[in-house]
A = this chain, B = another copy of it.
């Protein structure tokens, strides 16, 4: 659904400012106040983007960056480093250790988002796309609309998020637990079988004569979205 950015910044004022602006741009956000916190949070939920301050308590930004790169889950996650110092040495060091871009404080939010967009467009374009199309199915994430073969389809919020998640990872099989985490949220407890019911509702909503079911059931594993006819 929304791209998730981890903001690693110990200065509270800047962290809040970043949070506010990223949320306005449609990101989900989380703040880490030091390097250790950052590593923990990144492990718990893999971010789609990391904003990483250079100067941090406990672990330096560079060190955090190196460790993030060593982990499989975050090896390719886009990282933008923030630094008060702007000299070339720092820039080079930051980029050497695996940051994708570099901003010198103070910076304009406009420029930050221009760069963010550029970076995400390069690395994971589906995150920025408003309209995701697969086969004859179309999901418009800005307008929150779904179409199949140009027919508008009405979905409830949960079915929408479910479809959104599945269609962004076509072919991949998700267990019920994974779907609960991704669609319902980590801290919400509902029966795993509830997923079945929503999958059923989604299937029913997407059903059209002469078109095959885009959702595949993988017995004793979960569900997956399949590219479809057309």
Which residues of chain A have a CB within 8 Å of any CB of chain B?
A: 12-13, 16-17, 19-21, 24, 109-111, 113-115, 117-118, 140, 142-145, 156-157, 171-173, 178, 181, 218-221, 224
- With a cutoff of 8 Å between Cβ atoms, the chain B residues found around residue A110 in the complex are 17, 20-21, 109
Determine if A118 and B219 form an interchain contact, defined as CB atoms under 8 angstroms apart.
no
Determine if A171 and B142 form an interchain contact, defined as CB atoms under 8 angstroms apart.
yes
Determine if B173 and A144 form an interchain contact, defined as CB atoms under 8 angstroms apart.
yes
A157 touches which one: B117, B140, B181, B221 (CB < 8 A)? B221
Complex Cα distance, B13 from A118, in Å, reads 8
Determine if A117 and B16 form an interchain contact, defined as CB atoms under 8 angstroms apart.
yes
Complex Cα distance, B111 from A96, in Å, reads 32
What 9 pairs across the A-B complex have the smallest Cβ distances? A143-B171, A17-B114, A20-B114, A157-B220, A16-B118, A142-B172, A144-B173, A16-B114, A144-B218
Complex Cα distance, B220 from A178, in Å, reads 23
* Chain A contact surface mostly: helix
Residues A13 and B115 in contact in the complex (CB < 8 Å), given A156-B219, A157-B221, A220-B157? yes
Residues A173 and B17 in contact in the complex (CB < 8 Å), given A156-B219, A157-B219? no
- With a cutoff of 8 Å between Cβ atoms, the chain B residues found around residue A173 in the complex are 142-144
Complex Cα distance, B146 from A218, in Å, reads 12
In the complex, 19 of the A-B residue pairs with CB atoms within 8 angstroms, ordered by the A residue number, are: A13-B115, A13-B118, A16-B118, A17-B110, A17-B111, A19-B114, A20-B113, A21-B110, A21-B114, A24-B181, A109-B110, A140-B171, A142-B172, A143-B173, A143-B224, A144-B173, A144-B221, A145-B171, A157-B220
Complex Cα distance, B20 from A142, in Å, reads 17
Complex Cα distance, B19 from A181, in Å, reads 15
CB nearest to A219 among chain B residues: B157
Question: What's the least CB distance linking A82 to chain B, in Å?
Answer: 16
- With a cutoff of 8 Å between Cβ atoms, the chain B residues found around residue A118 in the complex are 12-13, 16
Question: What's the least CB distance linking A214 to chain B, in Å?
Answer: 14
- With a cutoff of 8 Å between Cβ atoms, the chain B residues found around residue A111 in the complex are 17
